[in-house]
């Protein structure tokens, strides 16, 4: 036996259907964003080999911020590299 509710759904039926659709699309978009973020993090590995060491990187950042000038940078960089033998 089928139940008919006049000419269609009442107000609560439309509300439930609309809320369900918004929830569905919200969950789908959230899942896609999380998957892309996870995949993006997996490819963003810091360059360890061949890249600057931590002291050299700090020295470069200080030069970029203007804390030291280029002459001071080169002098300290040579000191760091001569001690790494």
Reading the block at residue 53, the tokens are 């060491």
Give me the residue spans of the domains in the chain: 52-85
Helix (H, G, I), strand (E, B) or coil at 11: helix
pLDDT at 23: 97
Are the beta carbons of 63 and 70 closer than 8 angstroms? yes
Reading the block at residue 34, the tokens are 């999380």
pTM for the whole thing? 0.43
**Full pLDDT tens readout for the chain, 85 residues:** 555 556 666 778 888 899 999 999 999 999 999 999 998 887 766 555 656 678 889 999 999 999 999 999 999 999 988 876 5
In the DSSP assignment, the letter for residue 51 is S
Helix (H, G, I), strand (E, B) or coil at 69: coil
pLDDT at 34: 96
């Amino acid at each position: 036996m089928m139940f008919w509710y006049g000419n269609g759904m009442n107000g609560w039926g439309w509300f439930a259907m609309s809320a369900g659709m918004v929830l569905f699309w919200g969950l789908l978009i959230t899942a896609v964003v999380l998957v892309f973020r996870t995949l993006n993090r997996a490819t963003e590995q810091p360059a360890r080999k061949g890249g600057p060491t931590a002291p050299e990187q700090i020295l470069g950042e200080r030069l970029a911020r203007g804390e030291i000038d280029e002459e001071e940078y080169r002098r300290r960089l040579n000191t760091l590299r001569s001690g790494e033998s």
